[in-house]
Amino acid sequence: MAARIHGGAGAGAATALSTFNPKKLVAPSRTNLPAITRSKRYIVASGSDASNKSLRVRHSQKLIANAAVAVCLLSLILHELLLFEALQEGLEEEMDRDPHVCVMGEDVGHYGGSYKVTKGLADKFGDLRVLDTPICENAFTGMGIGAAMTGLRPVIEGMNMGFLLLAFNQISNNCGMLHYTSGGQFTIPVVIRGPGGVGRQLGAEHSQRLESYFQSIPGIQMVACSTPYNAKGLMKAAIRSENPVILFEHVLLYNLKEKIPDEEYICNLEEAEMVRPGEHITILTYSRMRYHVMQAAKTLVNKGYDPEVIDIRSLKPFDLYTIGNSVKKTHRVLIVEECMRTGGIGASLTAAINENFHDYLDAPVMCLSSQDVPTPYAGTLEEWTVVQPAQIVTAVEQLCQ
Amino acid sequence: MALSRLSSRSNTISRPLSAAFNRFISTDTTPITIETSLPFTAHLCDPPSRSVESSTQELLTFFRTMALMRRMEIAADSLYKAKLIRGFCHLYDGQEAVAIGMEAAITKKDAIITAYRDHCIFLGRGGELYEVFAELMGRRDGCSRGKGGSMHFYKKDSSFYGGHGIVGAQVPLGCGIAFAQKYGKEEAVTFAMYGDGAANQGQLFEALNISALWDLPAILVCENNHYGMGTAEWRAAKSPSYYKRGDYVPGLKVDGMDAFAVKQACKFAKEHALKNGPIILEMDTYRYHGHSMSDPGSTYRTRDEISGVRQERDPIERIKKLVLSHDLATEKELKDMEKEIRKEVDDAIAKAKDCPMPEPSELFTNVYVKGFGTESFGPDRKEVKAALP
């Protein structure tokens, strides 16, 4: 597949979108070795011309080492962009590739998207493919699902994930279940995406984490992106998938900067990402908490610990293979998430790990989550609702005793 | 009559009936003009004329299909009482004219989506009796493999999008289908059906707003049987003129017990929707059974009311009178037809009873589509394959 260069990629200038401090949340730079490992896996696959070429990823390390040389050359053609631009690139590439892909949401068209993810798309593709909807989440989510039943591939944007609670019936009953109750007649290749999570003093109703509510709906897949690289990859994979996929973005991560390959690539929807291999403890995290964990990891390394950090990325289904391998190596698990303590992703993950890997654990699985409170407005209080790096360090020290 | 025996063997109702009646082959395509029983009431549009073009063949087909639908629903009633059908079973008898008239006006490319009272509409879209009964009894050969049940009948190749249990949720879906039809420039329309109870749902007005804004070929059909489960319409809606509820969207009120009025209205609506965007049709109809099989149907309305409607407005009786008055068949021939239909339904039920239950492995099929070429196995899986399409 030829490398694609898009107009949007050239705009490397960081826009002062939000008031947060970019220094606190910097995407892992090229010094992070796994980045090369990540990109090469898929670029090699895409370099081959056969459409169904599969790549044995879990083969020996030798294969990786050999391929790395060849592929490093390909992955050297990089361009730098922000996370929202990566999402936009992914969306634009898919819309170019398949005329059935359309976007619907509030202010996605002429306004360009409230977080600029769909900027420029309305000019390029027209009003019929980038649809500005009125404010009726229930109806336009239903419409997206109805259109998907006939073969279109809508990307439904919730301006803030919290607003999608109004469309819960459509997502749960129609989106998740129609493939099953129709005996396989209809597929719903819809992507539901939007920013969620605790932002900077946005208030309780705009700081929702919906992954905990949607996780038990059968028939949907959930993924959470955390870097520009996996944002673009997951967006493309989600659009191409025949299943309904909910893509969770985070309000505070839109301005992350990273260099991503020019070449086309897709991330695996059901796979977790190894952020930092280690020996002492497995830390499972996703979305924004990944950065808190990496910050804590710096402190931990200085103190002599060697944490293995995995960004689970796939919230439903869990990538128990990667997680299991890690648990078998380190025997200690810490889950750091932004969901509430009760019924969150961490709770399910704890149960899954305990069920499947109980024999390999030297200590009980510890889960650090947000407090079970509505997110307060005051800055200091809001900081205390989410997990901070210092708490992660303490938890690791406690587990590793 | 050998020919009539031949026709009774087939289950599909789309076969022309001419084979059964030797003496009518020559008069098959004779056009007949029929006056609807009541004039149409219109809101923001000009009502269509009361004279409906029809033909002998159509009249007889109407009678046979409606009798088949009626028989099927009555048989489902007995099966439910025999505990072969469980859960919820919502019966359509009394409302057959809506399904039949709509089918006569449209093609299989036009989409229909409806709520849970979907058995007859499925049949009208080309579904088979055997599939219906197998699904109702939860058997393997049901139209949804036994996994949907009474409320989840679908037929993708005839653009029948089901079959939905949550009241009102199918209307945004229907507008989405209309959107896809417009997106693909298909020159087809979508009929999104709902009841008078669902007419009070907010998502309806949301969907109507978007359809009107984007000029979608969506036709919202309100099957007003005057009761939303146990609540009469005057107790649930401040404004029971459902055809006017669209406000800026034109509407038409139709006598839903007259199959020809329904046919005329649907034809008119299709032409309108393809040119001007959404339109609302209100079908004034009635259901004889209760809301579902768990509802006796007589606690909120009197038996006199039900028998009164049955005597004066029954759709099958009306067609029967037309057939007899146009001298297309004798009473005896119609009775024979009904006997044939009864046998057809009984045969389908017997066949469905013999059908086995779904395999246990069916529990996990069709939850996801393994579309992206990625296969994930349990925690002990040996390899992960990722293939780019």
**Is A206 labeled as catalytic in the residue annotation?**
yes
| Residue B64 and residue B319 in contact, taking contact as beta carbons nearer than 8 Å | no
pLDDT averaged over chain B? 87
* Most confident option among A89-98, A198-207, B23-32: A89-98
pLDDT at B238 over 80: yes
Q: pLDDT digits over A109-152, tens only?
A: 899 888 999 999 999 999 899 999 999 999 999 999 999 999 99
Can you tell me the mean pLDDT for B266-295? 94
Query: Among partner residues B366, B371, B374, which is closest to A183 by beta-carbon distance?
Result: B366
- pLDDT grade, residue B199 (50/70/90)? very high
| Residue B199 and residue B237 in contact, taking contact as beta carbons nearer than 8 Å | yes
**Is A106 labeled as catalytic in the residue annotation?**
no
- Phi, psi (degrees; rounded to nearest 5) at A15: -95, 140
Cross-chain Cβ contact B371/A187 below 8 Å: yes
Any B CB within 8 A of A168 CB: no
What per-residue confidence (pLDDT) applies to B5?
Answer: 45
- Which distant-in-sequence residues (6+ apart) come within 8 Å of A46 by Cβ? A1, A263, A264, A265, A266, B388
Long-range contacts of B26-31 (CB under 8 A, 24+ apart): B27/B56, B27/B328, B28/B55, B28/B56, B28/B57, B29/B55, B29/B56, B29/B57, B30/B55, B30/B56, B31/B55
What per-residue confidence (pLDDT) applies to A310?
Answer: 96
Q: What percent of chain A has pLDDT over 90?
A: 68
Query: Among partner residues B166, B171, B389, which is closest to A240 by beta-carbon distance?
Result: B389
Tokens representing B186 are 């298909």
pLDDT at B26 over 80: no
Cross-chain Cβ contact A266/B388 below 8 Å: yes
Residue type, A256: L
What per-residue confidence (pLDDT) applies to B360?
Answer: 82
Chain A contact probe: residue of B203, B211, B364 with most A CBs at under 10 A: B203
Distance of CA B343 to the CA centre of its chain: 22
pLDDT averaged over chain A? 83
φ/ψ region of B122 (left if φ > 0, alpha if ψ in -120 to 50, else beta) reads alpha
- Which distant-in-sequence residues (6+ apart) come within 8 Å of A290 by Cβ? A226, A275, A309, A311
pLDDT at B367 over 90: no
User: Which secondary-structure segment (H or E) carries A92?
Assistant: helix A83-97
Q: Which of these, B276, B337, B362, lies nearest to B24 by C-alpha position?
A: B337
- Which distant-in-sequence residues (6+ apart) come within 8 Å of B270 by Cβ? B105, B106, B110, B189, B219
pLDDT at A363 over 90: yes
Catalytic residue, chosen from A206, A250, A280, A292, is A206
- Number of Cβ within 10 Å of residue A62's Cβ equals 8
What per-residue confidence (pLDDT) applies to A63?
Answer: 54
Give the DSSP per-residue string, A271-303.
--EEEE--SSEEEEE-TTHHHHHHHHHHHHHHT
Alpha-carbon torsion (B309, B311, B312, B316), positive or negative: positive
Alpha-carbon torsion (B105, B107, B108, B113), positive or negative: negative
Q: pLDDT digits over B42-84, tens only?
A: 999 999 999 999 999 999 999 999 999 999 999 999 999 999 9
| Residue A137 and residue A163 in contact, taking contact as beta carbons nearer than 8 Å | yes
Q: pLDDT digits over A7-18, tens only?
A: 333 333 333 333
Q: What number is the ipTM of this complex? A: 0.81
| Residue A154 and residue A99 in contact, taking contact as beta carbons nearer than 8 Å | no
pLDDT at A32 over 90: no
d(CA A149, CA A185): 9
pLDDT at A29 over 50: no
With CA atoms as reference, the chain B residue closest to A102 would be B183
More confident residue, A75 or B349: B349
Chain B contact probe: residue of A110, A143, A328, A356 with most B CBs at under 10 A: A143
- Among A76-90, A98-112, B3-17, the least confident range: B3-17
pLDDT at B133 over 50: yes
d(CA A55, CA A42): 8
Any A CB within 8 A of B379 CB: yes
Distance of CA B246 to the CA centre of its chain: 23
State how far the alpha carbon of A178 is from the alpha carbons of A55, A135, B370, in Å. 32, 25, 15
Any B CB within 8 A of A184 CB: yes
CA distance B272 to chain A (A): 21
What per-residue confidence (pLDDT) applies to A77?
Answer: 87
Cross-chain Cβ contact A243/B369 below 8 Å: yes
Query: Among partner residues B184, B203, B372, which is closest to A269 by beta-carbon distance?
Result: B372
Strand pairing report for B51-55 and B111-113: unpaired
CA distance A21 to chain B (A): 37
d(CA A145, CA A150): 9
What per-residue confidence (pLDDT) applies to B263?
Answer: 95
With CA atoms as reference, the chain B residue closest to A48 would be B388
Q: pLDDT digits over A294-319, tens only?
A: 999 999 999 999 999 999 999 988 88
Q: pLDDT digits over B77-127, tens only?
A: 999 999 999 999 999 999 999 999 999 999 999 999 999 999 999 999 999
Q: pLDDT digits over B141-178, tens only?
A: 999 999 999 999 999 999 999 899 999 999 999 999 99
Q: Which residues of A touch B156 (CB under 8 A)?
A: 182, 185-186
Q: Which residues of B touch A134 (CB under 8 A)?
A: 206, 209-210, 213
Any B CB within 8 A of A305 CB: no
Stated pTM of the model: 0.82
| Half-sphere exposure of residue A139: CA atoms within 13 angstroms, side-chain side | 19
- Among A58-67, B14-23, B110-119, B341-350, the least confident range: B14-23
Cross-chain Cβ contact B385/A54 below 8 Å: yes
CB contact residues (below 8 A), chain A span 36-55, against chain B: 41-42, 45-46, 51-55
pLDDT at B276 over 50: yes
| Residue B258 and residue B318 in contact, taking contact as beta carbons nearer than 8 Å | yes
| Residue A363 and residue A377 in contact, taking contact as beta carbons nearer than 8 Å | no
- pLDDT grade, residue B296 (50/70/90)? confident
Tell whether omega for the bond before B39 is within 30 degrees of 0, i.e. cis. no
CB contact residues (below 8 A), chain A span 330-369, against chain B: 356-357
- pLDDT grade, residue A69 (50/70/90)? low
Q: Which residues of A touch B387 (CB under 8 A)?
A: 45, 52-55
Query: Among partner residues A146, A319, A357, which is closest to B172 by beta-carbon distance?
Result: A146
Provide the b/e sequence for A154-191 (b: ≥16 CB within 10 Å).
bbbbbbbbbbbbbbbbbbbbbbbbbbbbbbbbbbbbbb
Residue type, B322: L
Cross-chain Cβ contact A147/B369 below 8 Å: no
Cross-chain Cβ contact A41/B175 below 8 Å: no
Catalytic residue, chosen from A137, A258, A264, A337, is A137
Q: Which of these, B324, B303, B178, B141, lies nearest to A146 by C-alpha position?
A: B178
CB contact residues (below 8 A), chain B span 53-92, against chain A: none
| Residue B4 and residue B341 in contact, taking contact as beta carbons nearer than 8 Å | no
Q: pLDDT digits over A244-303, tens only?
A: 999 999 999 999 999 999 999 998 888 899 999 999 999 999 999 999 999 999 999 999
What per-residue confidence (pLDDT) applies to A68?
Answer: 54
CA distance B380 to chain A (A): 7
Q: pLDDT digits over A174-207, tens only?
A: 998 999 999 889 999 999 999 999 999 998 899 9
